[in-house]
Structure 1
């Protein structure tokens, strides 16, 4: 996964150099707003995923069009990634040498800056379709957790910032459509899968990753 993220980052840097050295045609920049429900889950290496939990993402989106059918797409959003799991020996609840299982609900919030490429079809009758692929960069701004051991509640909305890594990386793949509504304005609708590939905990004895599906909605102006 480290090799994949390195390749993606180098690819985007290479594109930036190319764009500066070859600005033959200006295809424009589009800015918009997005409000998106998310459906997240937790995948621990030692433990199990319990269920999907809903969240929300909102903020700015932008497309830098460098060819008629191609765009460099980014954004700045506040994204919640929630999920439930069962894991053993989880700090700060566990002490001693006897393994104990805990039922957990993660409530994590990130500032996300995606770096993706959009491949678009030609516009016909005011609509066009796209596919999207790239890298997700998340910076944690809130980390809370509910924890139970059997019928005993050990944590209720407990702050776990010290046990959560600041940076989260993921792969983005998705698709959807853009539909003209008036003048230069258009609406966006699609589906994105965000596959987290970095450990979200600071505990070196555990490897936990989070993923989510997003139903993308937005407006370009």
Structure 2
């Protein structure tokens, strides 16, 4: 999986260099983005609690193959947080005589996960309407985990904080990306963009074979294309 990640990075930067060489012919645009997101997790056993604030920043890239259609990608550092209540099995008091009926207890968890995201999407734009080009976006979100921490509370009391759970989180995360918004031209070469993005994770983010947890987020997007 890490070889796949490296290959995607090489493909992204190769495409960026090619796009800059042929920018006038193909309408390649490169930009910057920084925006908050609201994340949540859905465990198979347990329940989702509340949303948690995250953040994303990085590069945007559009390869316009017609005036209204483009292949849109980017490279961002994205934090996806979320809270849940899950059931864990309490360890036996004696390792020599394990409890045949182990006790299960609910634990309140907060996931704090950081990914390098490489979206692969299609963007459809309208002609200018009162100075604004509206767009819709659809595609695949590819996330590669670079950090994973977790807070845990049992019976309302703190059990641990900022526990490194990288070994329990899968390296690759896939999601379905849906977005919409508007682009506003500042001049012939520079424009700003704003919109909303729903990222629906559809792969299990944990390595635990006995359960499944998925995470999702809603992003409020801001960006500048040059």
Query: Normalising by structure 2, what TM-score?
Result: 0.83
Cα distance in 2 for residues equivalent to 1:26 and 1:184: 14
Q: 1:125 deviation in Å?
A: 4.6
Q: Which residue of the partner structure matches residue 8 of structure 1?
A: none
Cα distance in 2 for residues equivalent to 1:41 and 1:124: 35
Q: Pick from 136, 153, 162: which aligns with 1:157? A: 162
Cα distance in 2 for residues equivalent to 1:100 and 1:114: 38
Cα distance in 2 for residues equivalent to 1:72 and 1:82: 28
Q: How many residues align?
A: 196
Q: Pick from 181, 189, 193: which aligns with 2:194? A: 189
Cα distance in 2 for residues equivalent to 1:207 and 1:27: 43
Q: Which residue of the partner structure matches residue 202 of structure 1?
A: 207
Q: Pick from 129, 132, 141: which aligns with 2:146? A: 141
Aligned residue for 1:162, secondary structure, equals: helix
The residue correspondences of 1:64-83 to structure 2 (distance < 5 A) are 64-83=63-82
Q: Which residue of the partner structure matches residue 221 of structure 2?
A: 216
Cα distance in 1 for residues equivalent to 2:156 and 2:69: 54
Alignment of 1:88 onto 2:87? yes
Q: 1:123 deviation in Å?
A: 2.4
| Greater C-alpha Rg | 2
Q: 1:183 deviation in Å?
A: 2.9
RMSD: 1.7
Contact kept in structure 2, 1:26 and 1:66, CA below 8 Å: no
Aligned residue for 1:119, secondary structure, equals: strand
Runs of 4+ in 1 over 3 A off after TM superposition: none
The residue correspondences of 1:1-221 to structure 2 (distance < 5 A) are 26-89=25-88, 94-96=90-92, 97-221=102-226
Cα distance in 1 for residues equivalent to 2:51 and 2:140: 23
Cα distance in 1 for residues equivalent to 2:163 and 2:207: 16
Structure 2 portions without partners, runs of 5+: 1-14, 16-21, 93-101
